[in-house]
Amino acid sequence: MTVRTRFAPSPTGYLHLGGLRTALYTYLYARKSGGNFILRIEDTDQEREIPGAVDKIYESMKQAGLSYDEGPDVGGDYGPYIQSQRKSMYLPYAKQLVETGHAYYCFCTKEKLDADREKAEKEGRAYKYEKDCMHLSKEEIEEKLAAGIPYVIRQNIPTEGKAGFDDVLYGRVEVDCSTLDDNVLIKADGLPTYNFANVIDDHTMGITHVMRGTEYLSSAPKYNLLYEAFGWQPPMYVHLPPVMREDYRRDKMTKEIIPDENGNPELIVRKLSKRYGDPSFEDLLDAGYLKDAVINFIALLGWSPRGEREFFSLKELEEIFDLEGISKAPSLFDMKKLAWFNAEYVKKLSPEEYMPIAEKWLRKAIDTEKFDVKRICELLQPRTEVFSQLPEMVDFLAEMPEFESDLYTHKKMKTNPEVALDALVKIKPVLEAIEDWSEAALHDAVMNAVAEFGMKNGQMLWPLRIAISGKANTPGGAFEIAYLLGKDETLKRLNSSIERLKA
């Protein structure tokens, strides 16, 4: 049997990380099994569709490196791969179910259904459609159809017994049929519901393995009834637990933190959600996370490789991914861990790979023409967690920030503003005398002077770095920064810092 898996997103917005994980696992399983990976666009709920979202899906899949063997923009033998373009395929199947008594026409108006729903609510019971239209005679149905009365086609769920299906992770899942509603298969607009389309499409596209979120776990028994009604073999199901995130309890609308009864913020675990500002795949790429790091990280959100190793390329994942490693427990998305993961990937880039990415970010803060960007990159690479942090790491090169003189105070370095003023006044002529403005020359000149003055290194180097950068944390020390700024700018900054210390 050739494995055929599919990723079936609805075009309702950006690819969120839970969706990306489903896509990734689906892709990896197909590749590992030497099978086919299919992209299908599920756009039957056209009210929820967001313009441009389909193109975004193609783009995200491309960016993530998840190439599909069949799909709307690449073709294949089982197309079309966009549900709205398959519209005419579904009705004949629904009619077949009507013939066999597994489905029926329903002409109930929205008003009636709303009233029934309201009544159920008032009586405190769960609403279910009471099969009113199932009892229409063939003639009555013909008449209504001929009169053009709008209709839907509903699944005829047995009133008793059990419905169930087998899930790779959850085993046998069973529910009482009495708890299931006769859901709509074909809507009044002629389009199928997800409930129907997923079954028809998975079958007609020859899908062997379905991976999707656990939100479909409770409706999968209904889908199995459809497979049984058609006499089709259902695919293997792998329902994936949600990706969670630790956060403070927040108001749904305002997103403000809701304190507990003692007025403290309350930590909770909730589903990853765009609504609360959790990043999508695009957001992470835009914020300067490396694609490979994100993919590796997402792969580990709910799947564990055998052994201790954590770092895998997509190619390597394609070789080792297995269903056994998927966990039934919800996984926790941790931004700090992702940043750490990303930093590890950044460290492994060659300087040639690092520089063009970094330069794009550096340009937001400095005129890269004016600086030795190669040297800046050498200093930054081991310190880069996420590329979006680079502008604020180098902005002081463009303009010295305002700072308070207590920045000169450092216990361990044994400095304070007075020590600093003394050191800076002494080092000024030494710097002025340097002709070849290189890091090595700066180093030798300053260190010789420090020895001559009988000072501790830190008593000179700390104040000097503060005086020319205005910052307690900089990529590189006093010599690197002085070199990057150049002689004129270094002396200009040094003079103004001395003046301010004197004032």
The catalytic site residues sit at 274
Tell me if 44 contacts ligand GLU by CB under 6 A. Answer: no
What gap in Å lies between CA 216 and CA 8, rounded to an integer? 13
Structure-token pair, residue 407: 């920045």
- Tell me how far, at minimum, the Cβ of 221 lies from ligand GLU, in Å: 14
Tell me if 212 contacts ligand GLU by CB under 6 A. Answer: yes
The answer to whether the beta carbons of residues 198 and 10 sit under 8 Å apart is: no
Span near ligand GLU by CB under 6 A; candidates 5-13, 96-104, 231-239, 262-270:
5-13
- Tell me how far, at minimum, the Cβ of 81 lies from ligand GLU, in Å: 13
Structure-token pair, residue 257: 């933190």
User: How many residues of this chain bind ligand GLU (CB under 6 A)?
Assistant: 6
- Tell me how far, at minimum, the Cβ of 372 lies from ligand GLU, in Å: 49
Tally the residues of the chain: 503
* Residue (4 or 465) nearer to ligand GLU, CB: 4
- Give the residues across from 106 on adjacent strands: 152
Q: At what angle do helices 17-32 and 291-299 cross, to 10 degrees?
A: 80
What gap in Å lies between CA 68 and CA 38, rounded to an integer? 5
Out of 27, 31, 39, 42, which residue is the one contacting ligand GLU (CB under 6 A)? 42
Contact map string, positions 431 to 460, toward ligand GLU, x by CB under 6 A: ------------------------------
Tell me if 5 contacts ligand GLU by CB under 6 A. Answer: no
- Tell me how far, at minimum, the Cβ of 10 lies from ligand GLU, in Å: 4
- Tell me how far, at minimum, the Cβ of 246 lies from ligand GLU, in Å: 24
Residues 169-198 that bind ligand GLU (CB under 6 A): 198
Tell me if 10 contacts ligand GLU by CB under 6 A. Answer: yes
- Tell me how far, at minimum, the Cβ of 240 lies from ligand GLU, in Å: 10
Phi, psi of 18, deg, nearest 5: -60, -40
- Give the residues across from 173 on adjacent strands: 165
* DSSP label of 265: B
**Cβ burial, residue 187 (10 Å; 0-12/13-18/19+):** middle
Tell me if 224 contacts ligand GLU by CB under 6 A. Answer: no
Tell me if 8 contacts ligand GLU by CB under 6 A. Answer: yes
* Residue (42 or 480) nearer to ligand GLU, CB: 42
Tell me if 199 contacts ligand GLU by CB under 6 A. Answer: no
- In Å, how far are 68, 280, 377 from 358, measured between CA atoms? 31, 22, 7
Which SS3 state, helix, strand or coil, does residue 332 take?
A: strand
At 268, which helix (H) or strand (E)?
strand 267-271
Structure-token pair, residue 288: 């300067």
End-to-end CA separation in angstroms for the chain: 83
Residues contributing to the site for ligand GLU (CB under 6 A): 8-10, 42, 198, 212
